[in-house]
Structure 1
């Protein structure tokens, strides 16, 4: 079997985690490879995600590295076993590799924390808003291709709709005021946002223009995906360069701290227990109601 030329994010993450464990153990590539009856070059390919690793050899490596966390080892085994095939597979012809990786990540994570300042988070976008964004961005887009793009984004929302994924979103007020889409579409989107907050696993906060935060703190939209095993959490950074996924523990901690600070500076979340017409406090819902009135 030939070496992979375009490994997925899941495959890259497995290799990265095995390299991290080996580095922490102090073992060289050659010494570690010997524990699993592998050649040094073979282990190098595994760590670079260019080839797969059988379960028995993966367990041998983690034992050699002194990894005593059974949940982590089992999670790594599951990553190695996975074929990567899911509902997103049928969209390979129209979606880029990063979009497919994002869909797989959303389907396997237990929670995500999202910050957006220009657009609504993808998991919270209504159909009309999705379509309007694509139409505005690609005026001559083929109708059939547009339908595929819209369908893909809506399918990504299944994990949220089914309660398999918890979501905490901090959305800057500017995202609700941007005129990328017609006013009636934005009205529909804001109403959709308010409706989603009635789901028990969805928390939405609005970060107002008056929030006292240093601009560089939130200059880049990002999503922090939380794994059932904390060591395998991942940050997705929306940027035009590759790769958009960050896995280093130090960076994960920084993004976690950044999100917590954004959440602290944002208005209190929409309280699903309060009927909209009875909301009187200055919170995310009151700002959304004001924006609806001005549209």
Structure 2
């Protein structure tokens, strides 16, 4: 079996976790590989995500490493057995980059997602016309077929919020994203109205961070998403940036993003509640700000 030329984020994460477990118990590649009948070079390829590992050998390694709790061991086994195939597999040929397909797979596997955006509406909450306008404006020279593909792919990603067992989704959106004029006023109006409709779903929580929020600027300089795994140690942060890997599995760094998100959520207005009675508001909340924006558009 040949080595993988382009391992997925899930495959890389499995390899990283196995390396961390081996390092934690102080084993070298020769000693660890012997427990599972693997040579050190073969084990190195597994840890680098260049090749797969059979379930029996994986379980032998996890037992040798003393992997606890049992739920984590089973999660790693499930990670190794996953084919990685889903609707995103249909986009392997075309303009959709591998990182975007990895993102779709991660969304499908997560127990919950938390997103912070300061320039755009989060992708899972965008209307089709809003996302198309962003793609056209951001890539004016892109062929029309590519724009169609980008839009279709993002719309498919949104299906995760409509499935029978959807992950929880919590978004903190900066007021700037609601006031940006990168799309027409009509498109922006319908997009904002869509946010209110999405907030009706019990698993979706949307907050607006106003301009006058007392929060230190560098705390939210980079848009990011936190993907929470059923096993907390396997959670992942996704950082929107044009270079290097956007996926962060190091748990110390993940906790920093987690702390930042909690800070942003505390500073943001109360969540959008479409069921609130219209009229006089005794305190500011996200819905009141949105209604004001719609009135002034």
TM-score per shorter chain, which class?
over 0.9
Which residue of the other structure, out of 283, 286, 289, is the alignment partner of 1:284?
A: 286
Matches for 1:61-210 after TM superposition, within 5 Å: 61-93=61-93, 94-162=95-163, 163-210=165-212
Aligned to 2:222, the other structure's residue is in SS state: coil
| TM-score normalized by the length of structure 1 | 0.97
CA contact (8 A) 1:103 1:156 kept: yes
The residue number in structure 1 matching 2:4 is 4
Give the conservation status (yes or no) of the 8 Å contact 2:274–2:287.
Answer: no
1:242-286 residue CA offsets vs partner (Å, 9 max, x unmatched): 2100001111111111100010110111124325x3472310111
Structure 1: segments with no counterpart, 5+ residues: none
Whether the 8 Å CA contact 2:118–2:175 is kept in 1: the answer is: yes
CA distance in 2 between partners of 1:230 and 1:38 (Å): 29
| Structure 1: distance between partners of 2:276 and 2:57 | 54
CA distance in 1, matches of 2:77, 2:115: 28
Match of residue 241, structure 1, among 228, 240, 243 = 243
Q: Give the secondary-structure state (helix, strand or coil) at the position aligned to 1:157.
A: helix
Gap regions ≥5 residues in structure 2? none
Label 1:203 to 1:48 Cα distance change in 2 as closer, same or farther (>3 A).
same
Q: How large is the RMSD of aligned CA atoms in angstroms? A: 1.2
C-alpha distance in 1, partners of 2:280/2:6? Answer: 51
Name the TM-score, length of structure 2 as normaliser.
0.96
CA distance in 1, matches of 2:224, 2:275: 28
Counterpart of 1:55? 55
Asked if structure 1 preserves the Cα contact closer than 8 Å seen for 2:107 and 2:227, the reply is yes
Please give the alpha-carbon distance, in whole angstroms, between the structure 2 residues aligned to 1:73 and 1:272: 42
Counterparts of 1:208-227 in structure 2, within 5 Å, are 208-227=210-229
**Paired residues of 2:127 and 2:194 also in contact (CA < 8 A):** yes
- Report the Cα distance in structure 1 between the residues aligned to 2:231 and 2:73, rounded to whole angstroms: 10
Per-residue deviation at 1:143?
A: 2.3
Q: Distance in 1 between matches of 2:231 and 2:275?
A: 31
Matched position secondary structure for 2:260: helix
Which residue in 2 is equivalent to 1:20? 20
Q: Is the 8 A contact 2:172 2:207 kept in 1?
A: yes
How many residue pairs end up in the alignment? 294
Q: Contact 1:220–1:238 (CA<8 Å) still a contact in 2?
A: yes
Give the secondary structure class of the aligned counterpart of 1:235.
Answer: strand
